[in-house]
A and B are shown apart, each in its own frame.
Chain A
């Protein structure tokens, strides 16, 4: 399924339509060096390379391969709003994005934030935690959809729990890509053989593509076990969330990419903002009239009442740390 470029502001691999053509034309006309893209309305590898270069040049997330809200505004600033406003081919909502003032970013001094970690959580962050938190803070500062410190705080709290305090995208315990089948079964030290009720290998769909893509490491199957900051499982989640972040079916064909920090962050951000995991979203619990950290866990896992208060406690601490270290 390709993205309908007339309906979404975020363009990525697989997007098609006149908005992609407009983007290709802008790149060819205004970017230096100009990428000489074929303005065919198909967001392919060439356009993706151009977006990546554009992102780097404009200090967006390194290697960003999606073209969204902030990118449109940069184009607006570069070529002048007047010419954009007179361009009737550009959808109104894109013109409004270009004209809208930048929302306040959650931009913090990482060293101040990290210095507060010990006070908040009682231990000095390890090198892995420092690196993981620095990466997350950078992605939050670049995320134009996260402008409420409390949303950022709850996301960090969720990552703390879900990644076992490493703040790094993780794979589910007991699962890896080196063995087939993975996740099931496992023989315990006491000799018992146990297995998850899911995590079964799925025939690798790559070979049915045109042109076919080799399955990783010559395997014939994928296993859609948990990967990421808020780890997703099941092929259906890899498919739907990949499409939501503009990657079309790439995560179905290469599920290990969900461990990439850029992709793992995008999945968490879009999933928590839009309620794609459970139907509940950040704005249901954290909004202009309320800040219900204690029930916000329903965004990720409603059945887990045991950790509601613990994560709420993390979120309050992260909120204080963020507010104290804002630039």
Chain B
């Protein structure tokens, strides 16, 4: 199975939960046990394939999934992404402008007002 297909399989199952649900699922998928101290011997993706290839495969999978969902949404006459995107506002066009570390993404922050 190619990396893209593998990630597409994972993401297609995460997507229905939306960004919050998917984040909870990923957060809960930790190998560590709460009562044990952190060890630093976590399974690392770095050990298997090159990180750049993994990251590219994830983006390919998101793109493919996006297309699938867009097609399905068009067929059903609804918006594609709903609450899935991490874009904080519904889109993926996230400008990386919260990367000063004394700062946070005020754009997302203000949605809470």
A interacts with B: no
